[in-house]
């Protein structure tokens, strides 16, 4: 049987200059921890009306039984009951944000079945106590500068290239989230889960939450740690773990910093954390189900505070939607020349592999934040994106969060469709930074919005998309989204994925085999949003099968949600047979199967340490060239199971282990509950009745660039929570009122709208009857501004277009530039459908100006696209009669194919600035200058 281990791991690169430190007292055992045993005890005896929901309760009670060892004395869930296990964490009594997210989800399911929400709220309180860093643990965020978020450090696919040197000559972009987040929440601290905790302080750093200190080997309880700092080839077996707060108490003279980052001058004591975006998104996903189920019980008020925490987590999770160094998205193949981004120009809108943040210890006066440009299919979560953009209780508070998650939802679905192989499996992902250094991808590599296809994004040992678990995890989220929304794109993806997966599945009365390891060949077609390719050259092969119970559980839930919505009885039957087989694999602690671990030969493998480097781990293990995985962790020799490993290292047979991973055991429990809910009526407390369709949809006002709509209220058995507005079948906004104005439209263009209603449980109504509206013709009026244009490139035929623009305030009062947008209209003339845009110079600061290319819904004379130019808050206001001065724009297709500007609507040959009515201007979405193309 192939190893059924989670192939999870996270790669982090420190993103700023390294400098500063204090120590703190050991954390006393709090009243919070003292009550943990009581709070974590199995809930009141509960019974179910069907066998599958009862299986959930049986499994749940095993997990919550203190004798089974799933939780620490502080009430923190372990990654695994057993201590000797190496996969993403290198010890069973570490834990991850992944584990916490499954805990939230488990307790949400328990709340649905029993109506008791105490444990769900307790899980969130524990997360805030231990895995979401407190202010003391991230003390210098007040020094963070969003205009200079981090110093560039190139990654490398070769671990021997580390430590990597800081390169301050590479321009980084602006962080568009920081100011908004600090204004919204009144703090500059980041609210996100760090991915890895040493729950029993096995390493001995004593980096205790709430102290910001290294309290050492004598500290008890939880300690922040990190690993994976040295590129795509650094497997778990090659890591040198380190404390998140590095005060130089352990390691070498510079702590652990100079193992990873090379810099001139002295190193500084500092803190740093890494977020695993799929875990935070799963936490939001769990909170959505909790809210849906509690609302159906009339108990939403009992969990409102915890649901608000999930929404806040999702606000900061947006850092995962941006390039690592906030550089321009697309065609970013040279660190020096790839443009720094501003506004949303650095947003790819996908859930990338991580985001990270850090800074100096008090007195150092600096902090940094980074996103990531590499995105894997297995991390996307359209259900969470949908919840944050459509469910008011889960919509983050920041002003732009809802629109960001609305865009992300659409982009994630496009991404999964782009990666779907000819057989149905979903391929790896993409990157905006090849090899983590903005390198040049292989010739002919296909792209997604200008980002290069990567069949093994982020890490290569083992390849990141070879594990079938990523397929099951990812498709379960798609199936849940399809179940609650009926989205056609989600259904189309599942319609192809489910037959592929089921054709590779075998079930007997007492066992099953499902795909385990996958191999990939070919590549997807370059993404064209208006005409997606068929990916006939992209293929997946099942290299081996296995019986991973956790992956099977996610697979079962995928089949259940898909079958319940689509009516596919074969998928429901397969889900049932897999659950019945799982139920035969029980032991006193859960449901599991033995695993043969040939990879444990790596206990004796060498860990790369640079020549001349030496240091000491907290418990005395030496760090020096020639060190091994085991020599850095000599405490493993005292593990009660280590004799089996030692025998293997001495030439014996590979050891066999039976593991109880928290995430897997929780997912097995939930799989039984989902089947019981959807097909047996078990614990049937969920509201599954959607609202009625809204009626009386009417276009109440139409301008050249906007359509205002109104409708009559829908009805619901519990209550309508909000409405979603769809233009041409794609959601463009949501509201809790009975009206909405859609802005930024093209003049003289016909648009079709429908509206759906949703309730607090997330049920979505059928769409309303459609209404059509045609926008008015453009105006040549002079409103409050005029636009002046100059041609900065006299070549009519060229591979880039360079319009110079400036705005003049013709009104009598100052004008807030954030309300102004400009459009330069042109034809693409074939070639790539994606574009790169740049603001080469702006008199008011290029960082205060953003640009993007928009494809028009229907072509007009002289235009099928337009360049939209907008202004950030740093641009300020424009005084009456004043001009912005020159704004030198430039854009190209990502394949650098040529334009012919001769027939472009906005093009003119004047090289000096002059009024142009063919470049249009809008204030608050209303056309105020120029005439749009007819």
Task: Show the CA angle centred on residue 774, arms to residues 772 and 780, nearest 5°.
Answer: 165
Sheet strands (E) in 264-329: 270-275
In angstroms, the CA 633 to CA 567 distance is 52
Where in 771-925 does DSSP place strands (E)?
A: 771-774, 785-791, 797-798, 803-809, 815-816, 820-826, 835-842, 849-860, 863-871, 877-878, 887-893, 899-900, 914-915, 919-923
The HSE-up count of residue 265 (CA atoms within 13 Å, CB side) is 5
Q: Could you identify the residue written with the tokens 């652990």?
A: 256
- How many Å apart are CA 131 and CA 124, to the nearest integer? 10
Here the tokens at position 17 are: 């200059």
Q: Give the separation between CA 160 and CA 122, rounded to whole angstroms.
A: 44
Instruction: Determine if the peptide bond prior to 163 is cis (ω within 30°).
Output: yes
- Give the 3-state secondary structure of residue 595: strand
Q: Which two tokens stand for residue 733?
A: 């906004």
> ω into residue 538 within 30 of 0, thus cis?
no
Helix residue spans in 66-204 (DSSP H): 97-114, 118-130, 178-185
Q: How far apart are CA 571 and CA 562, in angstroms?
A: 8
Transcribe 189-235 into DSSP letters.
S-----SEEETT-SS-----TTT-S---TT--S-EEEE---S-TT--
Cα–Cα nearest to 146, from 122, 182, 179? 179
Whether the CB-CB separation of 617 and 203 falls below 8 Å is answered with yes
Which is catalytic among the residues 3, 82, 87, 98? Answer: 98
d(CA 327, CA 174): 8
What is the C-alpha to C-alpha distance for residues 687 and 759, in angstroms, rounded to an integer? 9
Instruction: Write down the catalytic residue from 278, 404, 548, 595.
Output: 278
Angle between helices 549-566 and 468-485 (to 10 degrees): 30
Tokens 């949303």: give the residue: 344
Sequence-ordered list of residues with C-beta below 8 angstroms from that of 739, at least 6 positions apart, any chain: 700, 708, 709, 710, 711
- Cβ–Cβ < 8 Å for 234, 461: yes
Phi-psi region of 33 (alpha: psi -120 to 50; beta: other; left: phi over 0): alpha
Q: Any idea which residue has 């407390």 for tokens?
A: 685
Residues 514 and 585 sit within 8 Å (Cβ to Cβ):
no
Order of strands, sheet of 695-702, starting from the edge strand that comes earlier in the sequence: 695-702, 707-712, 739-742
Query: Residue written as tokens 């997912």?
Result: 667
Tell me how many degrees the CA angle 531-533-534 measures, rounded to the nearest 5: 135
Token output for 34: 């003292």
Q: Has 98 been annotated as catalytic?
A: yes
* Four-CA torsion 475, 481, 484, 489, nearest 10 degrees: -100
Write the CB contacts of 796 (distance below 8 Å, at least 6 apart in sequence): 900, 901, 902, 907
**745/926 Cα distance (integer angstroms):** 9
Of 231, 255, 62, the residue nearest 162 (C-alpha): 231
Which of the residues are catalytic? 98, 278
């Amino acid at each position: 049987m192939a190893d059924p281990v989670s192939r999870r791991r996270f790669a982090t690169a420190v993103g700023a200059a390294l400098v500063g430190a204090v120590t703190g007292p050991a954390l006393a055992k709090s009243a919070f921890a003292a009550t943990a045993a009581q709070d974590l005890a199995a809930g009141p005896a509960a019974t179910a009306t069907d066998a599958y929901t009862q299986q959930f309760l049986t499994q749940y009670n095993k997990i919550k039984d203190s004798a089974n060892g799933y939780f620490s004395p502080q009430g923190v869930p372990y990654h695994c009951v057993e201590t000797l296990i190496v996969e993403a964490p290198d010890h069973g009594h570490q834990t991850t944000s992944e584990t916490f997210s499954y805990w939230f989800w488990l307790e949400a399911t328990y709340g649905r079945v029993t109506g008791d929400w105490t444990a769900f709220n307790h899980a969130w309180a524990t997360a805030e106590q231990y895995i979401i860093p407190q202010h003391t643990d991230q003390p210098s965020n007040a020094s963070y500068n969003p205009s200079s978020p981090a110093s560039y450090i190139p990654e490398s696919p070769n671990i021997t290239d580390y430590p990597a040197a800081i390169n301050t000559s590479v321009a980084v972009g602006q962080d568009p989230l920081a100011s908004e987040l600090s204004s919204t929440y009144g703090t500059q601290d980041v609210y996100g889960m760090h991915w890895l905790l040493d729950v029993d302080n096995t390493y001995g750093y004593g980096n205790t939450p709430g102290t910001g200190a290294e309290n050492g080997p004598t500290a008890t309880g939880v300690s922040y740690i990190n690993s994976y700092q040295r590129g795509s080839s650094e497997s778990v077996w090659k890591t040198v773990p380190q404390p998140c707060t590095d005060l130089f108490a352990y390691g070498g003279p510079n702590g652990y910093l100079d193992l990873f980052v090379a810099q001139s001058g002295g190193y500084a004591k500092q803190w740093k954390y890494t977020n695993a975006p799929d875990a935070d998104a799963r936490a939001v996903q769990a909170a959505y189900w909790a809210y849906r189920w509690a609302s159906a019980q009339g108990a939403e008020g009992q969990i409102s505070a915890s649901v608000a925490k999930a929404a806040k987590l999702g606000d900061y999770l947006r850092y995962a939607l941006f390039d690592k160094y906030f550089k321009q998205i697309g065609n970013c193949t040279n660190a020096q020349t790839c443009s720094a981004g501003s506004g949303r120009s650095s947003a790819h809108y996908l859930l990338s592999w991580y985001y990270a943040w850090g800074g100096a210890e008090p007195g150092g006066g600096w902090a940094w934040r980074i996103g990531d440009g590499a995105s894997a299919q297995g991390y996307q979560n359209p259900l969470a994106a949908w919840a944050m953009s459509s469910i008011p209780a889960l919509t983050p508070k920041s002003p732009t969060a809802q629109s960001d998650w609305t865009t992300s939802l659409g982009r994630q679905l496009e991404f999964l469709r782009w990666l779907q192989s000819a057989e149905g499996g979903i391929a790896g992902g993409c990157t905006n930074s090849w090899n983590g250094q903005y390198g040049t991808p292989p010739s002919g590599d296909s792209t997604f919005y200008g980002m290069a296809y990567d069949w093994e994004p982020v890490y290569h040992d083992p390849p990141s998309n070879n594990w079938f678990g990523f397929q099951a995890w990812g498709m379960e989220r798609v199936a849940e989204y399809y179940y609650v929304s009926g989205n056609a794109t989600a259904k189309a993806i599942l319609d192809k994925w489910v037959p592929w997966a089921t054709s590779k599945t075998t079930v007997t009365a007492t066992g099953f085999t499902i795909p385990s390891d996958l191999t990939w060949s070919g590549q997807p077609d370059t993404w064209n949003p208006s005409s997606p390719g068929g990916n006939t050259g992209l293929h997946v092969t099942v290299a081996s099968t296995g019986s991973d119970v956790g992956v099977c559980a996610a697979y079962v839930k995928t089949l259940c949600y898909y079958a319940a919505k689509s009516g596919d009885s074969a998928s429901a039957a397969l889900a049932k047979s897999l659950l019945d087989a799982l139920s035969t694999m029980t032991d006193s602690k859960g449901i599991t199967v033995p695993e043969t671990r040939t990879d444990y030969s790596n206990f004796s493998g060498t860990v790369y340490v640079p020549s001349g480097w030496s240091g000491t781990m907290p418990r005395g293990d030496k760090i020096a060239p020639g060190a091994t995985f085991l020599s850095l962790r000599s405490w493993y020799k005292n593990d009660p199971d280590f004799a089996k490993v030692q025998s293997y290292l001495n030439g014996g047979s590979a050891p066999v282990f039976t593991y109880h991973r928290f995430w897997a055991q929780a997912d097995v429990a939930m799989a039984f509950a989902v089947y019981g809910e959807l097909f047996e009526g078990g614990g049937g407390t969920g509201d599954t009745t959607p609202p009625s369709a809204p009626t009386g949809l009417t276009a109440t006002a139409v301008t050249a660039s906007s359509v205002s709509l109104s409708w009559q209220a829908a009805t619901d058995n519990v209550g309508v929570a909000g409405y979603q507005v769809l233009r041409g079948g794609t959601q463009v906004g949501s509201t809790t009122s009975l009206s909405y104005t859609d802005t930024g439209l093209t003049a003289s263009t016909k648009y079709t709208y429908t509206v759906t209603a949703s309730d607090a449980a997330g049920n979505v109504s059928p769409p309303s009857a459609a209404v059509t509206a045609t926008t008015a013709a453009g105006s040549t009026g002079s409103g409050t501004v005029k636009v002046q244009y100059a041609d900065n490139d006299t070549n009519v035929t060229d591979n880039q277009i360079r319009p110079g623009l400036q705005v003049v305030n013709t009104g009598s009062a100052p004008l807030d530039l954030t309300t102004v947008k400009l459009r330069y209209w042109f034809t693409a003339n074939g070639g790539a459908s994606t574009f790169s845009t740049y603001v080469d110079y702006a008199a008011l600061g290029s960082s205060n100006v953003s640009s993007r290319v928009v494809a028009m819904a229907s072509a007009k004379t002289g235009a099928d696209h337009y360049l939209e130019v907008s202004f950030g808050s740093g641009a300020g206001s424009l005084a009456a009669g004043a001009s912005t001065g020159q704004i030198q724009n430039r854009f190209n297709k990502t394949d650098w194919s040529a334009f012919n500007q001769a027939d472009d609507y906005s093009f003119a040959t004047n090289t000096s600035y002059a009024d142009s009515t063919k470049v249009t201007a809008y204030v608050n979405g209303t056309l105020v200058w120029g005439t749009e193309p007819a």
